[in-house]
Amino acid sequence: MDLMSKGGGEAVAMNVLEALQDDHDVTVLTLTDPDLRELNDYFDTEVDVGDLTVERAGRLAPWLNRTFGLKYYVLQNALLGRYARRRSDEFDLLVSTINELGLESDSVQYVHFPFDWTVSCDQREHIFHPTVEEDSLYERLATRVAGVDREDIRQNALLANSGWTADVVEDAYGTRPEVVHPPVDTREFEDRPWSEREDGIVTVGRIERSKRIKELIEITAGVRERGQDLHLHVIGPTVDEEYREEVEAMAAGREYVELEGELPREELVERVCDHRYGIHGKRYEHFGMAVAELAAGGAIPFVPNDGGQHAIVNDREELLYESVEDAIDKLAAVAGDPDRQRELRRPMGPRAIRRRFGRERFQRRIRRVVADALDRPSAEVPGPAADAPAERPASGD
């Protein structure tokens, strides 16, 4: 919807553009006017600005985005999909990097987390956008506008960013996407010696409520109370001014918390490579590109014990936390144990992360999926999926 949000989904979109631009004429349908040069600098991509066509997706959705930001997020997505479907005859292929939209069959759709409201997730309510309530009039309106057809979804080339997300998509639609982990840029990271790193923590991500930055400050304070003299760097662009003010108020008077905001790419990389630990606060994270970057920089990352982040930390119990208190216990234990630090660092660093989640791997796979989608005839709905019980269309995230 808005590439200037500069999150993991936007990194995926920029890498898809870079992957496809040499072999195809590419048009971006979006809600804003992105600064592609700035985005190239931020994501270290090489999207050809002169060769790319960028078009706003109609009038209503861009107006909603400009006027209300993320407040009517689900409706904006529904309108974006509806607009793309209306324009589909003008293109050989539609590729969504904003989850499953109401596109017709044979499109390619990269799912960070499905919009369907029927997914089996115990804490489904308010995970992403607390302005949206299940079964509300607004949600039903967005569902109707989106016009997502389950049979079309099953005929799409579906990709998911993690095994956890693929499970949720399968619950929602009765078909399992291929897992294609997002592209992690490791080129600038270096695995510096442990002795040269600061005894501190870095968190990277947009400053918004779902990132739970206030809880990360609590965790850092708790670890310090356990005798570990750690500090915290908070890095990322602000997308929620109200929440940023709350974070600033909490950080005030705590000399060990540095709220840095958005940094140039080279400074972000330097900060990660200069510190021993990373931490992520978002629960039910679909994959966690920021976590993978922390690992690429050689920091030991601590993450919530849910979502797709498990894959990045190799399911190590020492790095998965259930609560603020649990995070304090685990971080303090690792910070006080050099032998455990050495063991946990072995699968970290740019070489290991590049092998598992690198950009070249991602872009090769995207080119192959697109080539296959352009070559294949219209698909038939597979037998087992056709027998699945009908559910209402997807509408929101």
Residue 395 lies in a domain: no
Cα–Cα separations (whole angstroms), residue 320 to 116, 117, 279, 307: 27, 27, 10, 11
| HSE (side-chain half, CA atoms, 13 Å) at 31 | 27
Residue 23 lies in a domain: yes
CATH number at residue 209: 3.40.50.2000
CB atoms within 10 A of CB 392: 12
| HSE (side-chain half, CA atoms, 13 Å) at 214 | 12
Residue 96 lies in a domain: yes
CATH number at residue 63: 3.40.50
Q: In this structure, are 17 and 156 located in the same domain? A: yes
Q: In this structure, are 10 and 45 located in the same domain? A: yes
Residue 205 lies in a domain: yes
| CA–CA distance, 174 with 178 (Å, rounded to integer) | 13
Residues 6 or more apart in contact with residue 259 via CB below 8 angstroms: 234, 247, 248, 251
Map residue 53 onto helix, strand or coil. Answer: strand
- How much is the pLDDT for 120? 36
| CA–CA distance, 185 with 292 (Å, rounded to integer) | 9
- How much is the pLDDT for 135? 54
- How much is the pLDDT for 153? 86
Total tally of structural domains belonging to the chain? 2
| CA–CA distance, 87 with 308 (Å, rounded to integer) | 34
Find, among 85, 77, 96, the residue nearest to 143 by Cα.
77
Domain containing residue 268: 194-356
Q: In this structure, are 334 and 369 located in the same domain? A: no
Q: In this structure, are 260 and 284 located in the same domain? A: yes
Q: In this structure, are 176 and 279 located in the same domain? A: no
Residue 77 lies in a domain: yes
| CA–CA distance, 27 with 94 (Å, rounded to integer) | 10
- How much is the pLDDT for 347? 87
CB 235 within 8 A of CB 11: no
| CA–CA distance, 276 with 299 (Å, rounded to integer) | 5
Q: In this structure, are 101 and 132 located in the same domain? A: yes
Q: In this structure, are 160 and 212 located in the same domain? A: no
- How much is the pLDDT for 106? 84
Residue 388 lies in a domain: no
pLDDT string in tens for the chain (397-residue length): 999 988 889 999 999 999 999 999 999 999 999 999 999 998 989 999 988 999 999 999 999 999 998 788 889 999 999 999 999 999 999 999 998 888 877 899 999 988 764 443 343 443 333 334 455 788 788 888 888 888 888 889 999 999 889 988 888 888 999 999 999 888 889 989 999 999 999 999 999 999 999 999 999 999 999 999 999 999 999 989 999 999 999 999 899 999 999 999 899 999 999 999 999 999 888 888 899 999 999 999 999 998 888 889 988 999 999 999 999 999 999 999 999 999 999 888 899 999 899 999 999 999 999 999 998 754 443 433 333 333 333 333 2
Find, among 182, 193, 191, 216, the residue nearest to 328 by Cα.
216
Cα–Cα separations (whole angstroms), residue 113 to 47, 118, 166, 203, 385: 25, 12, 9, 22, 20
Q: In this structure, are 348 and 367 located in the same domain? A: no
Q: In this structure, are 132 and 253 located in the same domain? A: no
Q: In this structure, are 145 and 24 located in the same domain? A: yes
241-247 CB contacts, 8 Å cutoff, 24+ apart: 243/207, 243/208, 243/209, 243/213, 244/207, 246/214, 247/207, 247/213, 247/214, 247/217
Residue 309 lies in a domain: yes
- How much is the pLDDT for 139? 78
Q: In this structure, are 210 and 306 located in the same domain? A: yes
Residue 188 lies in a domain: no
Render the burial of 145-169: b for 16+ CB within 10 Å, e for the rest: bbbbebebbbbbbbbbbbebbbbbb
Q: Is 210 left (phi over 0), alpha (psi -120 to 50) or beta?
A: alpha
Q: In this structure, are 305 and 340 located in the same domain? A: yes
